[in-house]
Amino acid sequence: MNTTFVYLASQSPRRAQLLDQLGVAHRPLLPAPDEDAEALEAEREGEAPADYVQRVTRAKLDAALARLQARALPPAPILCADTTVALGPRILGKPRDADDAAATLRALSAGVHHVYTAVAVAAGARRLLALSDSRVVFAALPEATIARYVASGEPFGKAGSYAIQGPISAWIERVEGSYSGIMGLPLFETRALLAEAGIACAP
Ligand SMILES: Cc1cn([C@H]2C[C@H](O)[C@@H](COP(=O)(O)OP(=O)(O)OP(=O)(O)O)O2)c(=O)[nH]c1=O
């Protein structure tokens, strides 16, 4: 396929910024107002977090392909991703409210959790998917820190109620894996998928 851009099927500004780092031109391919994006992220009982994140990412890709067809847009590869924070078998999604965000941060405090990000590319008839798995160690979070952080508003819209790219990183002792993956788009895996789809990244 001879294309000069990819469609980024994501509302996340972080994913657009991360894709910029690869030097790949991209255009948004966002859901219509009547599309139920939340339904895609419904959990299934007993499903392992790594399986969940890949299933949701495939569903996001299917929805994006249908959107491209419905809007009769020019063909180009589509990229999407999903990030899930897991404490053992438990999925810690985006917080419902301030209490939920504080409870999630208490659960992550003084412990180890995983951040899974699946990234998927559709190019022509091909569909490619990769999974990034990172291990994050949080120090013990004082109650006052949790309260200030929740009041700052940053936990909202973030899986696991935190953003590694923000001030809470001062309480992260160790990370093994992919920093960009934790932020929402693992650049090593994304570059490899795009290369497989015939799209060269810089440098
Ligand atoms: C753990 C963590 C998550 N996040 C963000 C990345 C994702 O935007 C969000 C997880 O939600 P997602 O459901 O993966 O993505 P989204 O709803 O923001 O965007 P879309 O589905 O349209 O692509 O949490 C951070 O920014 N930093 C972090 O450290």
* Beta carbons of 165 and 132 less than 8 angstroms apart: no
Identify the bridge partners of residue 146 per DSSP, sorted by sequence position: none
Taking the centre of ligand 1 as the mean of its atom positions, its distance from the CA of residue 184, in whole angstroms, is 5
- pLDDT number for residue 3: 62
Write down the mean pLDDT value for the chain: 96
Reported pTM: 0.96
Ligand 1 pocket mutation pick from 183, 185, 187, 190 by most atoms within 8 angstroms of CB: 183
Name, in order, each residue with C-beta under 8 angstroms of 170's C-beta and a sequence gap of 6 or more.
none
Residue appearing with tokens 């200030």:
148
Q: Which DSSP state fits 4?
A: S
Pairing of strands 172-176, 26-28: unpaired
Q: For residue range 145-186, list pLDDT tens digits in order.
A: 999 999 999 999 999 999 999 999 999 999 999 999 999 999
Ligand 1 atom nearest to CA at 37: 21
Domains of the chain and any CATH numbers: 6-196 (3.90.950.10)
Taking the centre of ligand 1 as the mean of its atom positions, its distance from the CA of residue 101, in whole angstroms, is 15
Pairing of strands 26-28, 90-92: unpaired
Question: What distance in Å separates the CA atoms of residue 161 and residue 146, rounded to the nearest whole number?
Answer: 10
Complex confidence, ipTM = 0.94
Ligand 1 atom nearest to CA at 80: 23
Please give all residues whose beta carbon lies within 6 A of any atom in ligand 1, as ranges: 10-12, 14-15, 81-83, 85, 115, 157-160, 162-165, 182-184
Please report, rounded to a whole number, the percentage of residues in the chain having pLDDT higher than 90: 91
Which member of 34, 51, 62, 82 is catalytic? 82
